[in-house]
Amino acid sequence: MALNKSNLTVGDEHSEQIVDNLTRTQIIQYAGASGDYNPLHTDEIFTTKVAGYPTVFAHGMLTMGMTGKMLTNYVGDGRLTKYGVRFVAQVWPGDSLTATATVEAIREEDGVSLVDLAVTTVNQDGTEVIKGSATARIDG
């Protein structure tokens, strides 16, 4: 059922596991899809020996994209109008992430019904990796 003003309440939460055991292969797939071939995400030798990280890590935008899938699952196709995050902590191969949207406000703007959502994604240790907000159109 489409989200609408009568079936939404401030405080409602929608949560999904967006990745279970993130693989280096998925990070490489994202490099190929986005064209962002920064070696910190794909080259284990460079990243550990030269850059000094414990391992390659996910593009922040991959975490944001996987979190965006939770948002579009929740609000429906073509309804997300605004989406922004802070990149709070890195995401590593092997991480499992859960993303949650919480209804912050239900409002009208220029005759369009909108929902404002707080967005947070945590890893398997409960550490927040991104924190943000989104706005979507809803039925009146």
Stretch touching a copy of itself by CB under 8 A, among 3-11, 59-67, 99-107, 110-118: 59-67
Q: What are phi and psi of 39, to 5 degrees?
A: -65, -15
**Is residue 15 close enough to count as binding a copy of itself by CB under 8 A?**
no
Which of 17, 29, 11, 6 is closest to 99 using CA atoms?
17
Q: Between β-strands 13-19 and 97-109, what pairing exists: parallel, antiparallel or unpaired? A: antiparallel
Q: Counting every residue, how long is the chain?
A: 140
Site for a copy of itself, residues 75 to 94, rule: CB under 8 A: 77-78, 80-87
User: Do residues 12 and 97 touch, judged by C-beta distance below 8 A?
Assistant: no
**Is residue 117 close enough to count as binding a copy of itself by CB under 8 A?**
no
| Residues near a copy of itself (CB under 8 A) | 18-19, 26, 29-30, 32-36, 38, 40, 59-62, 64-66, 68-69, 72, 77-78, 80-87, 132-133
